[in-house]
Amino acid sequence: MNAARTWLRCPRPLRWPALRLVCFPHAGGNAAFYRPWAAHLPDDVELHAVQYPGRMDRTGEPFAADLPSLADGVVSALRALPGDTPVVLFGHSLGASVAYEAARRLDGPGGGLRALVVSGRPAPDRLRDTRVHLADDDTLWAETGRLGGTGRETLEHDGVKAVALPVLRADYRIAETWRPAPPVPLRAPVLACVGADDSEVTAEEAGAWADRTRGRFALHTFPGGHFYLLVHRHRLVETILRATHRSPVPTWSAAGP
């Protein structure tokens, strides 16, 4: 299996896409989380959802050693795709950090990066010092319920818990031990999205992503908590497309020199 097929899931391949929207899952998440997004995209935008190792059809593979190695794998996969189609990277929570590392590798001439969209995550220099990955199983599992991304029926299913806990712990470990490299601002624009009631990131922490780009920056706040994107999926996709695909200039505010 080549790198693209290993790392990327594309529910609706296009022959000549004008844009590729590449989506990075949250801790404990997988590529299937983004499959419904395909129905909200125009006919010339191709969706690629990242599948991290150690889950779903990659269950037999070891978990990633660290966050930069995840980014390296995704970037290799994107470079294996045909053509020179521009890409927009979107990541939620843990996925925002992985997407940022991937953006750093794709930024600049020939990289194809049109924009980075981060969601539900403080800027790298505003990350909170947490140690959830060191907690006992019950505490770690309760964290999943607290954030609201998993239904009660799933949380109460022992079989699901047994399978999901190792994935969740591995993802929290790489998120909480990530030490970003000294910032070199991206050339590409950055859009930060946050839920108004998100306990994991404030608007101020999300707004600090402005320091990570020399291009345009915008902050968009949605109603809801950490998983606001479950309820406001269509509105979020529209916001991303307006900012990066259909009419990018009017929707961005200036940031930086």
Catalytic residue set: 93
Rounded to whole angstroms, what are the CA distances from 46 to 17, 54, 94, 220?
6, 25, 22, 23
Contact 216, 189 (CB under 8 A): yes
What is the DSSP secondary-structure string of 102-120? HHHHH-STTS-EEEEEEES
Select from 221, 217, 211 the least CA-distant residue to 190.
Answer: 217
Distance, in Å, from the CA atom of 205 to the CA atom of 195, rounded to the nearest integer, reads: 12
Distance, in Å, from the CA atom of 88 to the CA atom of 189, rounded to the nearest integer, reads: 10
One-letter amino acid at 43 equals: D
Distance, in Å, from the CA atom of 182 to the CA atom of 170, rounded to the nearest integer, reads: 25
Which helix (H) or strand (E) segment is 129 a member of? none
Contact 23, 91 (CB under 8 A): yes
Select from 217, 222, 251 the least CA-distant residue to 235.
Answer: 222
Residues in Cβ contact with 183 at an 8 Å cutoff, skipping those fewer than 6 apart: 124, 125, 211, 212
Tokens (6 digits) for 78: 């994107």
